[in-house]
Amino acid sequence: MIPMLMIAAFLGLLLLINRHQLGVNTLNDYATASHSIGVLGITFGFLATWYVGAGYTVFSGFAVSYGMIGMYVIPYGIITLLVMYLVAEKSFIWGKKYNLRTQSELLGLRYRSDFIRILTGFAGVALSIPWLLMEWYTIGYVFNYATEGLISPLVGMVIGIAVVVSYVALGGMRSVVTANIIQGLYMMFAGSAVLIWVLYSELGGLQGAMQRLQTHAPEALTYPGPGWELSPNYWTAIVLTSGLGGFMWPWVYNKLFAADSIRTIKQSVLFAPILGILSFGLLIIVAMALHPLPFAQENPQQALLWIHAEAGVWPLAFFAVLVMAASLGTVSGILNAMSTAISGDMAQVLKRDISERSALTIARWSVVLIGLGALAGAYVREGLLVFLALMTYQGMIVLSPVVLLGLYWKRANRGGAVIGFLLGMAVSFGLTLAEPAFIQTYGWTPGVYGFLITLGIMLVAGFCRPVEAHVHTLWQDIAEARGCTRQPVGGMLAAQ
Amino acid sequence: MRAAVFVLLILATTTLSTLPFVFQWSNRIEPTLLGLPFAFLWQFGLALLAAIFFVGWYLADKRRGRLDVDVTMGDRR
């Protein structure tokens, strides 16, 4: 009963705090909160969106089973933050000057191509679906576990959907970020506290747990972990794939357009590593400490919920809310990004005369329909969801050369970006599905090959053609902004 | 130029934590600290080093006035 009440109280708190944020009138405000979010919102917005609820079930299950390999999130997080720091300035300047709302719109501006805008918008939506389904599944699963079966997974999903859909559809980015602050603060402080409590009350403390691992399963303390034969190249590949792909998700990237300044974004990069390293490192240590326990070995994905239930009803309640907070944070970001992409990057591009108000209505109904459609997650096997979610990273890494070269290399052009992106995706997903022997033996994940194909094609195409004329104007925008000169309203593309 | 130095420094930390032969060297239990194996300490340590480089980069950007650029919001394109 206590876990159920705590979850209900947490969901009620999100709605209560968001009640003043629900009056959004334009798609621009819905998508970017009119570029008004400060450092607290951006920091916790990134953290709450990035930390998925499945991290406490499925992905911590990897650490329970195989130990050290779960640590790949630490170096991958650093690469992701480096990408964030690198793209912050230009994304912010062009974003504000041209009033951009999404990553796809930014790419459409940079490559002067509606096709790239629609293509990357569609890819972002499609690749986000498995994550959305997996997070809904996690919400239903946690409801069911925390209430000892009183609330079925399907009913749990419906409750979660009703709460998130209501505040995302009505309040847009402002509501998402407000909720993210609550979720992020809970995850960092209450969540970390309950993990430490369980580590010391149930697992003998840090040194005791590590000593037990050294005695019973020392192989779990190093890569690749017990019962796995993996090349060290695999470690390199998963860090690079996740690190470069991690900031390419539209639901993460779009928060750059909500920030009120470059200072805000860059300050967020400073806070995020410390908070991320401490909280995720703690999670992996607790998960690994469970490795020697027979129940955890047999049920790795359930292990963290189980040990919190063993610790008592209050630790279980706090942990259930922790998983719920992580899931809702991700889901709200995904819903906001997907609905903005459907309305702004697809509907408004295909039919130019759609007004801002109509676009907002389309975005709101998209949230409702996506929410209902995601109930399908209840009927998809969990194993398949995990497979699909992991596969999407093989696609996201392919987008990284299109974004990074687009922002930093004048010669990057539309032809190279389109052909490189499509071929890179084909190679990446083709290798994932075909699973040729060299993928296993050499250790590089398919996304690495897709990334290299995209990068290679974009470089060749860039040297084959002169710099596109509009690019000089975009670079001039950056130079002028760095000089702190005020920009004329409108800008190059408004004048076209 | 200064940005390139920080990018290189941060890339160096990720190289030290991911490049196969360096990673294999660090992939061991001893020495330990508070029971944590060296493989963990190496990853944590490099991540904290990267965080310090981020702080340095931020301060350098701040000194050059690159954090408060003035851009007027334009019309939608």
**Hey, what domains does chain A have and what are their CATH numbers?**
2-391 (1.20.1730.10)
Give residue A496's pLDDT: 32
Is B75 part of any domain? Answer: no
Whether chain A has a CB inside 8 Å of the CB on B75: the answer is yes
pLDDT of A272 strictly over 90: no
Is B8 part of any domain? Answer: yes
Whether chain A has a CB inside 8 Å of the CB on B16: the answer is no
Is B23 part of any domain? Answer: yes
Give residue A8's pLDDT: 92
pLDDT of A430 strictly over 70: yes
Give residue A49's pLDDT: 81
Is B71 part of any domain? Answer: no
Q: Specify the residue for token string 């195409």.
A: A461
pLDDT of A193 strictly over 90: yes
pLDDT of A425 strictly over 60: yes
pLDDT (average), residues B31-35: 91
Residues A8-24 as b or e (16 or more Cβ within 10 Å = b): eebbeebeeebeebeeb
Range of weakest confidence among A212-216, A483-487, B72-76: A483-487
Q: Find chain B residues with C-beta within 8 A of A485's C-beta.
A: 70
Of A93, A233, A277, the CB nearest to B71: A93
What's the pLDDT tens digit per position in A135-175? 888 888 899 998 888 999 889 989 998 999 998 988 899 99
Inter-chain residue contact A239 with B14, CB threshold 8 Å: yes
Of B24, B48, B69, the CB nearest to A262: B69
Residues B38-71 as b or e (16 or more Cβ within 10 Å = b): bbbebbbbbbbbbbebbeebbeebeeeebbebeb
* DSSP output for A287-349: HHHTTTSHHHHH-GGGHHHHHHHHH-HHHHHHHHHHHHHHHHHHHHHHHHHHHHIIIIIIIHH
Inter-chain residue contact A235 with B11, CB threshold 8 Å: no
Is B49 part of any domain? Answer: yes
Give residue A484's pLDDT: 54
pLDDT (average), residues A416-424: 96
B10 pLDDT band, cuts 50/70/90, is confident
Give the rounded percent of residues in chain A with a pLDDT score beyond 90. Answer: 46
A314 pLDDT band, cuts 50/70/90, is very high
pLDDT of A103 strictly over 90: yes
User: In the beta sheet, which residues pair with residue A37?
Assistant: A259
Q: Find chain B residues with C-beta within 8 A of A261's C-beta.
A: 67-68
Give the rounded percent of residues in chain A with a pLDDT score beyond 70. Answer: 96
pLDDT (average), residues A243-262: 89
Is B73 part of any domain? Answer: no
User: What's the whole-model pTM score?
Assistant: 0.89
What does the mean pLDDT of chain A come to?
88
Give residue A375's pLDDT: 78
Number of folded domains that form chain B: 1
A492 pLDDT band, cuts 50/70/90, is very low
Of B14, B32, B51, the CB nearest to A273: B51
**Domain span at residue B58?**
2-63
Give residue B76's pLDDT: 58
pLDDT (average), residues A447-470: 95
Give residue A26's pLDDT: 86
DSSP conformation class of A352: T
